């Protein structure tokens, strides 16, 4: 019978551990990787055109360079660009996916599905639509005055330049809307601007992965409120006063009677008065704001029902009240005919230093 001493056992254990720890043979140092923060994507005659915005750290700031190429698939383009760069492209740190408007109108289902399947891009990457040719947009971004590499990223960051009138949609939300019966989505639309670098152009209505219409920044604010997002900081201008939204909340009550769906939405807003014109009462300011928001919302919902695009996700409130085999018909047979009752409640939380009449 063979016997092994303690030194032999220790040596064998060390060999086993060494084999287990040898799984990082294919890693590359971060200094040999290129980390784009923005990808622009368009499609012309069946071929993709890609633009990558790559930060280049300097002693004073982080500048950027733009590289571009075209090909039959996104992965093919990435491989070609990597072949011509000094380092390998790593897309896991991508922050913004910029889609050409014409490509969005054709439908971007294939690209979104490929990104989720391949997992080369983070599902948290922001999806944005460009309202001008991508080459023109990136040319504007490349001007010496616009060379800050994080400008577009900060535009959509809540702790930086984001505004409640701007939509926020990520790749995973796009993928969900493509495969959901009751939830469409909206995507922000931008273009370059000579004065502010970036100009918001409202939002695109996305149904089944395709842009079917667009809405204004004011309509985008209403969608954000309906979806439960904060509208804090938004200033509304009315005939007799300007107010700033401090907080907002929304509640829903849904019911089904036969084939008819009913939904009650109660929106509660707390505002503070910034300016007044003349001597309006608090009650008059509240009525004007409630009337303004109600009319704006009714026109917006009529447009969405006509387009059969549920970007307000009202269908989510009926998932347990409509038979499963009928949910697939939500966009066509239910949502366009849903009876929606909107109620707005405005609370003036602060009048500042103004002394106003209550009635």
Region 331-354: mean pLDDT is: 86
Structure-block tokens of residue 277: 């014109």
Residue 34 lies in a domain: yes
| The pLDDT of residue 22 | 55
| The pLDDT of residue 147 | 60
Domain match, 175 and 113 both: yes
Residue 350 lies in a domain: yes
Please determine, for residue 26, whether its predicted confidence score (pLDDT) is greater than 70.
no
Angle at 135 between CA 132 and CA 136, to 5 degrees: 55
Q: Are 81 and 69 in contact (CB under 8 A)?
A: yes
Please determine, for residue 5, whether its predicted confidence score (pLDDT) is greater than 70.
no
Output the DSSP codes for 11-79: HHHHHHHHHHT---TT---GGGEE--SEEEEEEETTEEEEEEEEEEE-SSSEEEEEEEEEESSHHHHHH
Output the DSSP codes for 90-141: -GGG--EEEEEHHHHHH--HHHHHHHHHH--S-TTPEEEEESS-HHHHHHHH
The pair phi, psi for residue 155, each rounded to 5°, is: -60, -30
| The pLDDT of residue 60 | 62
Residue 21 lies in a domain: no
Structure-block tokens of residue 192: 């370059």
- Work out whether strand 126-130 and strand 47-57 pair parallel, antiparallel, or are unpaired: unpaired
| The pLDDT of residue 224 | 92
Domain match, 193 and 246 both: no
| The pLDDT of residue 64 | 80
Q: Provide the number of structural domains found in the chain.
A: 2
Quote the mean pLDDT of the chain: 86
Domain match, 118 and 264 both: no
d(CA 159, CA 4): 63
Please determine, for residue 24, whether its predicted confidence score (pLDDT) is greater than 60.
no
Residue 12 lies in a domain: no
Residue pointed to by tokens 């409509």: 322
Across the chain, which distance is largest between two alpha carbons, in Å? 106
| The pLDDT of residue 29 | 55
Domain match, 340 and 266 both: yes
User: pLDDT tens digits, residue range 192-210?
Assistant: 988 888 999 999 999 999 9
Q: Are 356 and 275 in contact (CB under 8 A)?
A: no
Residue 203 lies in a domain: yes
Domain match, 285 and 206 both: no
Domain match, 172 and 242 both: no
Domain match, 140 and 249 both: no
Domain match, 155 and 271 both: no
Domain match, 207 and 239 both: no
Residue 288 lies in a domain: yes
Q: What is the CATH number of the domain that holds 318?
A: 3.30.300.210
Residue 255 lies in a domain: yes
Name the pLDDT band for 154 (thresholds 50, 70, 90).
Answer: confident
| The pLDDT of residue 43 | 93
Where a domain ends, among 193, 215, 237? 215
Least Cα distance to 186 among 229, 155, 152, 150 occurs for 229
Least Cα distance to 277 among 240, 317, 325 occurs for 240
Helices (H) and strands (E) counted in the chain, each on its own, are: 10, 14
Domain match, 201 and 259 both: no
**8-state DSSP, 178:** H
User: What distance, in Å, lies between the first and last C-alpha atoms of the chain?
Assistant: 103
CA distances from 108 to 42, 48, 117, 137, 185 (A): 10, 12, 14, 20, 13
The pair phi, psi for residue 325, each rounded to 5°, is: -70, -10
| The pLDDT of residue 218 | 92
Residue 53 lies in a domain: yes
Where a domain ends, among 215, 237, 257? 215
Give the number of other CB atoms < 10 A from CB of residue 237.
11
Between these two residues, 35 and 358, which has the higher pLDDT value? 35
What is the pTM for the complete model shown? 0.85
| The pLDDT of residue 56 | 78
Region 116-131: mean pLDDT is: 92
The domain in which residue 150 lies consists of 30-215
User: pLDDT tens digits, residue range 85-119?
Assistant: 877 888 888 999 999 999 999 999 999 999 998 88
Structure-block tokens of residue 337: 């005919």
User: pLDDT tens digits, residue range 344-353?
Assistant: 999 988 665 5
Please determine, for residue 272, whether its predicted confidence score (pLDDT) is greater than 60.
yes
Domain match, 166 and 267 both: no
Between these two residues, 228 and 22, which has the higher pLDDT value? 228
| The pLDDT of residue 307 | 95
Cβ-defined contacts of 251-259 (< 8 Å, 24+): 252/314, 252/317, 254/314, 254/317, 254/318, 254/321, 255/321, 256/318, 256/321, 256/322, 259/333, 259/334
Region 273-296: mean pLDDT is: 88
User: pLDDT tens digits, residue range 289-298?
Assistant: 999 999 999 9
Where a domain ends, among 169, 189, 215? 215
CA distances from 166 to 171, 199, 239, 255 (A): 16, 11, 24, 31
Please determine, for residue 257, whether its predicted confidence score (pLDDT) is greater than 80.
yes
Please determine, for residue 54, whether its predicted confidence score (pLDDT) is greater than 90.
no
| The pLDDT of residue 89 | 83
Domain match, 195 and 330 both: no
């Amino acid at each position: 019978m063979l016997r092994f001493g303690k030194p032999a056992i220790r040596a064998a254990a060390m060999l086993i551990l060494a084999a287990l720890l040898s799984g990082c043979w294919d890693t590359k140092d971060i200094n040999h990787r290129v980390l784009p923060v923005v990808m622009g994507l368009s499609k012309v005659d069946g071929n993709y055109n890609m633009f990558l915005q790559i930060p280049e750290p300097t002693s004073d700031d982080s500048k950027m360079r733009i590289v571009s190429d075209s090909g039959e698939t996104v992965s093919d383009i990435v491989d070609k660009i990597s072949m011509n760069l000094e380092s390998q492209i790593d897309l896991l740190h991508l922050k913004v996916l910029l889609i050409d408007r014409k490509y969005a109108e054709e439908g971007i289902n294939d690209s979104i599905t490929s990104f989720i399947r391949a997992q080369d891009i983070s599902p948290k990457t922001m999806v944005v639509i460009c309202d001008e040719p991508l080459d023109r947009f990136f040319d504007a971004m490349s001007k010496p005055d616009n060379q800050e590499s994080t400008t577009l990223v900060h535009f959509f960051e809540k702790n930086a330049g984001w505004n409640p009138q701007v939509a926020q949609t990520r790749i995973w939300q796009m993928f969900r809307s493509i495969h959901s019966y009751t939830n469409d989505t909206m995507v922000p639309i931008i273009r370059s601007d000579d004065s502010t670098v970036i100009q918001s152009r409202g939002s695109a209505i996305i149904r089944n992965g395709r842009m079917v219409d667009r809405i204004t920044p004011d309509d985008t604010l209403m969608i954000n409120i309906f979806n439960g997002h904060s509208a804090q900081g938004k200033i509304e201008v009315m005939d007799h006063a300007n107010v700033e939204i401090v907080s907002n909340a929304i509640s829903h009550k849904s019911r089904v009677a036969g084939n008819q769906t009913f939904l009650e939405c109660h929106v509660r807003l707390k505002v503070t008065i910034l300016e007044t014109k003349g001597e309006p009462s608090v009650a008059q300011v509240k009525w004007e704001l409630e009337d303004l928001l109600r009319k704006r919302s009714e026109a917006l919902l009529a447009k969405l029902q006509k387009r059969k695009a549920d970007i307000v996700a009202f269908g989510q409130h009926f998932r347990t009240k409509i038979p499963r085999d009928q949910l697939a018909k939500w966009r066509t047979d239910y949502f366009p005919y849903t009876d929606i009752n909107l109620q707005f409640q405005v609370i003036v939380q602060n009048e500042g230093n103004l002394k106003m009449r209550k009635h």
